[in-house]
Structure 1
């Protein structure tokens, strides 16, 4: 006997959620364990990861996360999980193999929205376990965890108050090493959300515009208005969005006499992870190797 793989918990998770309006994530994991896997040996049920987490509960929670990426479940409010109509439809079919979820268009779009071009070219999620080296497996696992964090982070950004989103952007730029920032007034700001100092003394200023969009792309008109709102004391601007820029917006920014940097949702969450804004370190793993110098004197 062995513990179920995370993708083998898909249907049990959906079956539990189909009986309730919503559940807290931890309660969901406990119910799935108790109803479907309680007959496993106690030593398996008590098995821990190297960081001390229960292996089975951790796998169930990962199963929930993957179901969320493909929109088979949703998070109606903080910490809670709910089955969607799409989830009910797949539950009626009685099976959801991993390859079907990975080929689901919602899942593909979700993963692409937070992955850089380089990550999309080398997709570590598809690593062949049988032929992979231990380092490949570590990289693959790390990639999956990071993508999940980026996904949730981007969703948080899309849900928060638009004014607070503007403040998050200014906090990020401050963490990146820029000087003090000034939030503009929320009325009549002419499309400028904040002003940051490029240097600590404030000799050079950069204007910022933050658009918290869900699906809508930033258009050429938005870039044109941003450029028009920039006063004569600066020629530099940063336009940030939780979505993407259409081709005309990108073209307008490139052709502008001003220096306009565009940051889309994928790049934004990359920077937030890099500078620890809105995230925290959960676990630190140490990978050790032989110290050859130690044995030089033998």
Structure 2
């Protein structure tokens, strides 16, 4: 089974702490996973940042919300125990504890949810967030992904409508920012008459002894680049007597094109529109960082 959204963990967390007395958060993660029958694969699944498991993240957020609502408390670092209000919630509360319910029964949690000022104008936003059933970390990551997807789509659309020369120079800049290219002429655009079927070259060493050639093709995003284009590029690489090539397009590659690239006895890397968008954003080509949000967490060593 997939890991449930984090609100599903709140009652099991509350119940296990009630049954076992003071318990360490890290021990609680295993206990609740056993209670919910999560598989080893579920338990090992990592959040997108890769610094903790999704299971630990959701148990920790469930515990945080229960503490903010006064149903759990932390008598010492990383230890949880139930309060009288928590025991009352187990007896008379719903089978599924949610953020919306915690807001109804706990004024302190309502203040926490709406912000320190308790601004009532934010109530609708909080309700929408609660309905999404995401932890704050997950909500931030989801919003970031949506922004990147929209930005990537716009970047590719603009490249499709730009001139061929502009697109070729964009790919050159991207490759250089990715760390490819050495020497005075790290990478050059060769597009135009007499380019012998390639659009640019990247020097992998200072003297340009080892080189990679690239092909940059602008197509509408609904078009699939076929195997013929790959064979043409392969032929161009053979004329240059090189073994490495990069084929970049704003469109996508057909299955036959990908199979052709795998079978050719030259190393040809394929970058389609979706991957191109991710790389442009990652290496800040054609876009820039507008805002940076810092998310802080407790420094446990400080409290030792």
**2:218 corresponds to 1:212:** yes
**2:270 corresponds to 1:262:** yes
**2:212 corresponds to 1:203:** no
Number of the residue aligned with 1:189: 195
Q: What TM-score do you get using the length of structure 1 for normalisation?
A: 0.54
149-158 vs 260-269, which deviates more? 149-158
2:252 is paired with a residue of what secondary structure?
A: coil
Higher Cα radius of gyration = 2
Number of the residue aligned with 1:291: 299
Instruction: After superposition, give the CA deviation of every residue in 1:246-296 in whole Å (9 maximum; x if it has no partner).
Output: 122111111111111111000011111111111100001011222333333
Taking the aligned partners of 1:257 and 1:277, their CA distance within structure 2 comes to: 31
Number of the residue aligned with 2:171: 169
**What is the Cα deviation at residue 232 of structure 1?**
4.5
Number of the residue aligned with 1:148: 150
1:293 is paired with a residue of what secondary structure?
A: helix
2:246 is paired with a residue of what secondary structure?
A: strand
Aligned pairs for 1:1-298 within 5 A: 129-179=131-181, 180-214=186-220, 215-230=222-237, 231-296=239-304
Runs (5+) with no aligned partner, structure 2: 1-120
1:250 is paired with a residue of what secondary structure?
A: helix
Relative to structure 1, is the Cα distance of residues 128 and 191 closer, same or farther in structure 2, using a 3 angstrom cutoff?
farther
Work out whether residues 168 and 191 of structure 2, in 8 Å CA contact, stay in contact via their aligned partners in 1.
no
C-alpha RMSD of the superposition:
2.3
**What is the Cα deviation at residue 129 of structure 1?**
3.9
Q: How many aligned residue pairs are there?
A: 173
228-237 vs 241-250, which deviates more? 228-237
Relative to structure 1, is the Cα distance of residues 275 and 200 closer, same or farther in structure 2, using a 3 angstrom cutoff?
farther
1:226 is paired with a residue of what secondary structure?
A: helix
Work out whether residues 181 and 195 of structure 1, in 8 Å CA contact, stay in contact via their aligned partners in 2.
yes
Work out whether residues 165 and 191 of structure 2, in 8 Å CA contact, stay in contact via their aligned partners in 1.
no
Taking the aligned partners of 1:128 and 1:158, their CA distance within structure 2 comes to: 40
Runs (5+) with no aligned partner, structure 1: 1-54, 60-126
Taking the aligned partners of 1:181 and 1:154, their CA distance within structure 2 comes to: 22
Work out whether residues 178 and 200 of structure 1, in 8 Å CA contact, stay in contact via their aligned partners in 2.
no
1:262 is paired with a residue of what secondary structure?
A: strand
Work out whether residues 178 and 199 of structure 1, in 8 Å CA contact, stay in contact via their aligned partners in 2.
no
Work out whether residues 203 and 211 of structure 2, in 8 Å CA contact, stay in contact via their aligned partners in 1.
yes
Relative to structure 1, is the Cα distance of residues 244 and 287 closer, same or farther in structure 2, using a 3 angstrom cutoff?
same
Taking the aligned partners of 2:213 and 2:130, their CA distance within structure 1 comes to: 46
